[in-house]
Every structure is written in C-alpha cells, then in structure tokens.
Structure 1
C-alpha cells in the first residue's frame, strides 16, 4: 500500500462480499462489470454508473442508501486498476473536507469447471478507517452481497 499514513491499510477495516460461483467464463462476467451503462439493468446497489474504463478516470455513481429505505446518494471515485478479466478497482482519496479514503476491488477468479468466482472488497483506509468500518461495514457488506448475487443471476441469464 502507501507510506502515507492517511492511506494506511488496516486488515480489520475491510469488507468482503460473499464469494459467488458464476456458471460463466470470467470474460463474460468482466464484460458485464465494465459496461457501466448497463448497471441499472442488474445492480441493486449501484443503480447508475458513468465513466471511461481507464486508470485515473472518474466513475460517477448513484448508490442505494441501505440506511434510509428508498433513498439514493451520488458518489464519485477514481478508477485505480483495470486488469482484465481479473480485477477492476476504484478509490476515494483523502480529502481534508472528507478524510475517509477507501478502495473497492471487484475480483473475478476462474474456477476449474469453466466458470468463475466473483467477490468484492472495500478497504477503508487511514486513521479513521476502523471507525468507517464499524459504522458502514454492515450495510456495505449487504450492498456487496446483493451485488454479487444480482451479478450471478444477470450473467447466468444471458444467452
């Protein structure tokens, strides 16, 4: 990770979704994950996403607020890794006005049956990361689990 204490990694401040087996090759799952315009068709958490698939580019999202039913909020993060067909990640920086940096990774691993395993992590970074984990960890886990199972259903329903 980083030598910057504002971005320090704490393994206790990481959310990990369920690992979901998807009966499709990881390239097919990758194509769905990086088609941001399509998120509204399948993703119950990130209901809108707009951006260019390139490191350093912003990703503008509309996210479901799991704390207030029926509410959504806007979020902008920066794409920080594009490793087809294995990982796409975006991150939020430390800002003096919002000192809660984080990094979300979506991972696709091939399995021995021609399908794949998908999961997502969110690392809450820096000195306040553990506090963010305690406050937001449970609803972020729910959001990521919902996303994983929705991705599975959507991809397996294609064709």
Structure 2
C-alpha cells in the first residue's frame, strides 16, 4: 500500500494517444535515449523479479551516468510498470517506482509515475534526492506525452 510519506509523484499528464501506444513506449527500452531525459538508458528482460539496470544523469557530475539496479516488481500491460530497489548489506536504500497509465478513452489516457522511498534511510533519501527525482519524473511525464502524441499523430 502506498502512503504519502516519502512519496515522490510526477505531474499527471493527459495524453491524446491510446494507452496501448503509451505502454509500447514504456516497454521499448532501447528507445529511451531518444525521448527520456531522466532515465536515459534501461536494460532489462522485463521479466518479473529480474534486474532492471537504470542509467540516470548524475546531478553531481554532469556528463556522467548513475547506474542503479532495481528489480521488476509489476508488469500489467497498458496499466502498470513497476520496479523496486531492495535494501542490502551494501546499500540500505529501498524504493518502489510505479509508472501508471489510466485509460480515459479509446484514444486517450492519463499517466503519472511515483517513487516510494522505503526502509531505514527513506527520510534521508527523500530530503537529499526527492526534489531531483520530482524534477526528473515531471520531465519524463511531459516527454512521454510529447512522444506518444507525436507517434500517434504519425499513425493517423
């Protein structure tokens, strides 16, 4: 169950494209560098429980990428894509990211993404990184909207 404590939520965007189009963009991992300003590279089989290698621009070192390993937690076509970071002996941080698509019509949907920071370091992670994650998630939501609407318009 998601609570508001230590939760980062992107803008919610209405997209003039079908949920299927938005979903196809989210699972087309090799194309992320073409449109995603925050998660610029993703490597995964998209099989539940398997690794999701995320590469994000490092705000502390421009030009460098942060490599984060999470694990696919949910995969509900046209509705939910989620991955999680589990706390370990080497890294006590834990989180769950959900990308949600809500169908609003045959050629429209709504999108938002959240990140719930979990575990003993959640408050610190939220304080230190919450604003950066929020800015990145808002950029993703707007970029996904633009890409989905462009690709949908080209097909019609």
Same structural fold, with TM-score higher than 0.5 when normalized by the shorter chain:
yes
Q: Give the secondary-structure state (helix, strand or coil) at the position aligned to 2:5.
A: helix
Which residue does the alignment assign to 2:9?
A: 16
Structure 1 partner of 2:83: 90
Q: Measure the CA separation in 1 of the matches of 2:71 and 2:52.
A: 6
Provide the secondary structure at the position in 1 that maps to 2:42. strand
Paired residues, what number? Answer: 152
Question: Which residue is 1:156 aligned to?
Answer: 149
Unpaired segments ≥5 residues, structure 2: none
Measured on the aligned residues, the alpha-carbon RMSD in Å equals 1.5
Q: Equivalent of 2:108, from 112, 115, 126?
A: 115
Counterpart position of 2:123: 130
What is the DSSP-based 3-state SS (H/G/I as helix, E as strand, rest coil) of the residue aligned with 1:121?
strand
**TM-aligned CA deviation for residue 97 of structure 1:** 1.2
Aligned pairs for 1:1-159 (under 5 A) are 11-112=4-105, 114-158=107-151, 159=154
State whether residues 43 and 54 of structure 2, in contact with CA within 8 Å, keep that contact through their aligned partners in structure 1: yes
Q: CA deviation at 1:34?
A: 0.7
Deviations 1:72-91 (A, max 9, x none): 21111110100111000001
TM-score (norm 2): 0.91
